[in-house]
Structure 1
Amino acid sequence: MASRSVGRRRADRRPNRRRKIDIPQGHGHGHGHGHGDHVVDTSVVDSDAIVARRVRIVVAAVLAPLLAAAVIAMIVMWPGGGVKVASYQTDSARGEVTALKPCAQQKDQCDEATVKVTSGPDQGKSVAVQVPKAGQAPLKIEVGQSLMLGIQKGAPLEQRYQYVDHDRTMPLLLLAAIFAVAVVALSRWRGFAALIALAVTAVTLTQFILPAILNGSNPLVVAVVGGAVIMAIALFLTHGINAESSIALSGTIAALGLTVLLGWFFTKFCQLSGLASEGASGVQALVPGVDLKGLLVAGIVIGALGVLDDVTVTQAAAVWELSAANPTATRRELVGAGLRIGRAHVASVVNTLVLAYAGAALPILMTFAIQGVPGRYVISTEMVAMEIVRGLVGSLGIIAAVPLTTALAAMAVADRSRDLISTEPELLHEPA
């Protein structure tokens, strides 16, 4: 029985081994087929016993303990009950403008809108709401538009509702639907899985990260824990639970850790208080004990997560394809080829990230430009220095993700066929 089992295992290995070894040779016989017709099957790398053994070591020694620690920390820090500030709580409603007329007083400042309430405790009723007149607000209010309303509890109906903003629910839902259709149309089931991962990210942000910070937990620890869980779910859900995804996730977490350290160090070194962040003063007024410096670094970490995911998945996939095409490639060859691929990718991604942060600070930069403030003075102000630290620290994390992931992937898949020959040389002499 034992000999038959060994024979079956050897017979099962032979076709895969022959296919792997023959892949590079196929490029040299292309008399009847163009190079474009060749498709590299990376599944043979995932199913390789040598790769599986190496990846299991990485998962058992590093990845599994880190993910277990993140899940335990999330459970411990999970906010219990509501964490809203009582003085800031308010009810809300929506309504459609059915008529407009000038206010009885201050006719040049406001209009009185008749609004049919479409959601809230007075749904279906028409109420009077004072709204800014054209020219007194950034957007003109017209009949037929949908508005967001605040509710003053206990007030009479004619004074109960206040204008808050335009209701943009329908346009945003339409945009989200177009985005979802485009993703699924291009990527099919993988795109559908990516949309589920996006939903998980949104739930984690709104139900764990933000409430846990408001509940008094350290913002940096919350961001790292939430980010690790988000990346694990997103990668495995989108790309499957396999060796390649495990290596990509390992590289992501390693780069994430470096980003945290750099962010924390340069926030201290550049003497950033975090107060210059948009909305930071409001948060501090509502939650006086919040750690604004930690919140700043947490923002850097979360902002870099999506790009880290992109870079690590690309690098792992590149090394997997290189190994599938050439199973005898050494670790040095795979690392060299992977880094050559990564250089071009990082150059464009880093530029994208820096431009994204620069775009967020564009109104501030324009204000300084109008005032003719010297460049060195502008850079030293916290508003601008904070965006520079965000952009450069996030970019450093992305740069580090390339060699880290490439090295991990190369360690997993290097010398696959040579290792098989050295461990079981008798397979080479068996008949096909």
Structure 2
Amino acid sequence: MGHAHGHDDVRIHDPARRRRARLLLTAILIPLGLLTVIGTWFLWPSGGADRVQLDDPYSTAAGVSMVSGEVERVVNETCPSSGDLEAAGGEAQQCDVAYVRPNAGGGAVPVEVPPEILAATGVEPGDQIRYLDLREAVTGSAAPYIFVDFVRAAPILLLAAAYAFVVVLVARWRGFRALLGLIGAYLVLAHFMIPALVEGKPALLVGLVGSALIMIAVLYFAHGFTARTTTALLGTIFGLAVTTALAAWATDAVHLTGVGDDAKYTLVNQVPELSLSGIILCGLLVAGLGVLNDVTITQSSAVWELAEANPHRSARELFTSAMRIGRDHIASTVYTIAFAYAGAVLPMLILVTLYDRALLDTFTSGELAEEVVRTLVGSIGLVLAIPVTTAIATAVVKAVGTGDVGAASRSAATRGSSDGSVAPRRRSGRRSAAHADGSGPPIG
């Protein structure tokens, strides 16, 4: 048995075998990268989307202006809009009126606060709000100032800064690179995928090429150009292909029309080139990218760490051990996707469940069918990606090795006893700078 372990270890870290493995990975990556670049070039929007500009819905009337200001005080008094009611013979109503001082300067103006805002969060002194100034557009109106929304820039930016700080504090340089990769992903979404969809490009190809472009850039930028990252990328592409096929079938089979809310009706009327079913298809792909990336990179890392802890394991043993981790990951990520989507549509979920109808009818209704399909399609893609990623990672780590640990194990095998047994391996306290992150050797 000692001879078999030593032979397996030498075979795993044979230089010629490592070169062949790197060449194989490169032979897969180059066509994949070229196809993504070519697809991006052919599908890149020509600029027609830039000509589609919708007017600000709050400033369609001449003379209407949007104003930001700070609430000085909130008073319960006769509603400004009651002046019109009294003129028509109605009765004056009492409501909360926020006196707002414009940020641009000037005296405080009375802004009537809608009842739904009062029921939700209310308005307090010090709040920043936006309101419409109708004085030049509507003459004789008793309510020339209309509440629009809160100004949320400051707290959201503060929360984003806190998020970035925590990520960099815990994950350090890799976390910083991940944040930059996230910005790059949103740039791809904003400057490639959305304009291409607006121009009427094939939604299936736009979603697939755009998602592949995001994953290639994000994975290598955040995790480095290594064999470990490459195996995660191959598993991600497989999961993405499965998700694309299922999404294309489900969009047609379930008759997802995409006309379930006001925003989509507006798109239909204002941008006739846009395919709502195509938007749903792309949405199904983009929605699962984050979790898919998570499970593949984690599973690839699990294989590498298990191989590093015991480089004498056979490929079958390594795959079996890694899949035990993968099954736990499957269970947790299924909950992650389901609860994330349920939380996003919770108001709609509450509303449709209050209707007096069967449970199956509720979850297959037009209001929820899209979310149900998104959950199922994304879950199937990520579940199938885990064993595929594990198998690829097992094959690659057996061919390429794990870095310094392989060298240490060969030295241990050389120091084996006269009967061929392998001496116990002591884990080195230091690892080479090239593999300090445990990511294995670069493939290039």
Give the counterpart of 2:125 among 143, 146, 156. Answer: 143
* AA in 1 matched with 2:27: A
Q: What TM-score does the superposition give when structure 2 sets the normalisation length?
A: 0.73
Q: Which residue of 2 aligns with 1:423?
A: none
**Partner Cα distance (2:284, 2:212) in 1:** 14
2:260 is the alignment partner of 1:276: yes
Give the counterpart of 2:147 among 163, 184, 191. Answer: 163
Q: Which residue of 1 aligns with 2:24?
A: 57
* AA in 1 matched with 2:346: L
- In the TM superposition, what whole-angstrom CA distance separates every residue of 1:125-151 from its partner, at most 9, and x where no partner exists? 557474434566544333321113467
* AA in 2 matched with 1:338: A
- In the TM superposition, what whole-angstrom CA distance separates every residue of 1:8-56 from its partner, at most 9, and x where no partner exists? xxxxxxxxxxxx979x9xxxxxxxxxxxxxxxxxxxx999774454143
Task: Give the secondary-structure state (helix, strand or coil) at the position aligned to 2:50.
Answer: coil
Q: Which residue of 2 aligns with 1:404?
A: 388
2:42 is the alignment partner of 1:96: no
Give the counterpart of 2:50 among 82, 86, 91. Answer: 82
**Partner Cα distance (1:228, 1:269) in 2:** 25
- In the TM superposition, what whole-angstrom CA distance separates every residue of 1:238-269 from its partner, at most 9, and x where no partner exists? 11111111111111111101101001112212
* AA in 1 matched with 2:276: L
Q: Which residue of 1 aligns with 2:113?
A: 132
- In the TM superposition, what whole-angstrom CA distance separates every residue of 1:214-239 from its partner, at most 9, and x where no partner exists? 23223332222222122122211211
* AA in 2 matched with 1:78: P
**Partner Cα distance (2:135, 2:20) in 1:** 64
- Report % sequence identity: 34
**Partner Cα distance (1:331, 1:56) in 2:** 21
Q: Is the 8 A contact 2:288 2:378 kept in 1?
A: yes
Q: 1:165 to 1:104 in 2, by over 3 A?
A: closer
Within-5 A mapping of 1:5-404: 50-51=17-18, 53-61=20-28, 63-75=29-41, 76-78=43-45, 80=47, 82-88=50-56, 94-98=68-72, 103-106=79-82, 108=93, 115-118=100-103, 123-125=104-106, 128=109, 130-134=111-115, 138-149=120-131, 162-276=146-260, 279-404=263-388
**Partner Cα distance (2:66, 2:203) in 1:** 29
Cα deviation for residue 153 of structure 1 reads 12
Q: 1:52 to 1:168 in 2, by over 3 A?
A: farther
Give the unaligned 5+ runs of structure 2.
60-64, 83-91, 402-410, 416-444
Q: Is the 8 A contact 1:133 1:140 kept in 2?
A: no
Task: Give the secondary-structure state (helix, strand or coil) at the position aligned to 2:288.
Answer: helix
Q: 1:135 to 1:338 in 2, by over 3 A?
A: closer
Single out whichever of 316-325 and 71-80 deviates more from structure 2. Answer: 71-80
Q: Is the 8 A contact 1:110 1:130 kept in 2?
A: no
* AA in 1 matched with 2:93: D
Q: Which residue of 1 aligns with 2:427?
A: none
Q: Is the 8 A contact 1:21 1:326 kept in 2?
A: no
Q: 1:265 to 1:149 in 2, by over 3 A?
A: same
Q: What TM-score does the superposition give when structure 1 sets the normalisation length?
A: 0.75
Task: Give the secondary-structure state (helix, strand or coil) at the position aligned to 1:279.
Answer: helix
**Partner Cα distance (1:78, 1:54) in 2:** 38
Q: Is the 8 A contact 1:316 1:406 kept in 2?
A: yes
CA RMSD after TM alignment: 3.7
**Partner Cα distance (1:320, 1:167) in 2:** 48
| Aligned pairs, number | 378
Cα deviation for residue 309 of structure 1 reads 0.6
Q: 1:52 to 1:96 in 2, by over 3 A?
A: farther
Q: 1:93 to 1:258 in 2, by over 3 A?
A: farther
Q: 1:51 to 1:313 in 2, by over 3 A?
A: farther
**Partner Cα distance (1:268, 1:409) in 2:** 35
Cα deviation for residue 296 of structure 1 reads 1.1
Q: 1:387 to 1:167 in 2, by over 3 A?
A: same
**Partner Cα distance (2:389, 2:19) in 1:** 17
* AA in 2 matched with 1:132: V
- In the TM superposition, what whole-angstrom CA distance separates every residue of 1:48-85 from its partner, at most 9, and x where no partner exists? 77445414323323x33223332333344235262543
Single out whichever of 215-224 and 265-274 deviates more from structure 2. Answer: 215-224
Q: Is the 8 A contact 2:353 2:362 kept in 1?
A: no
Larger helix proportion of the pair:
1
Cα deviation for residue 97 of structure 1 reads 2.8
Task: Give the secondary-structure state (helix, strand or coil) at the position aligned to 2:71.
Answer: strand
Q: Is the 8 A contact 1:190 1:238 kept in 2?
A: yes
Task: Give the secondary-structure state (helix, strand or coil) at the position aligned to 2:372.
Answer: helix
Task: Give the secondary-structure state (helix, strand or coil) at the position aligned to 2:129.
Answer: strand
**Partner Cα distance (2:51, 2:260) in 1:** 24
Cα deviation for residue 394 of structure 1 reads 0.4
* AA in 1 matched with 2:25: V
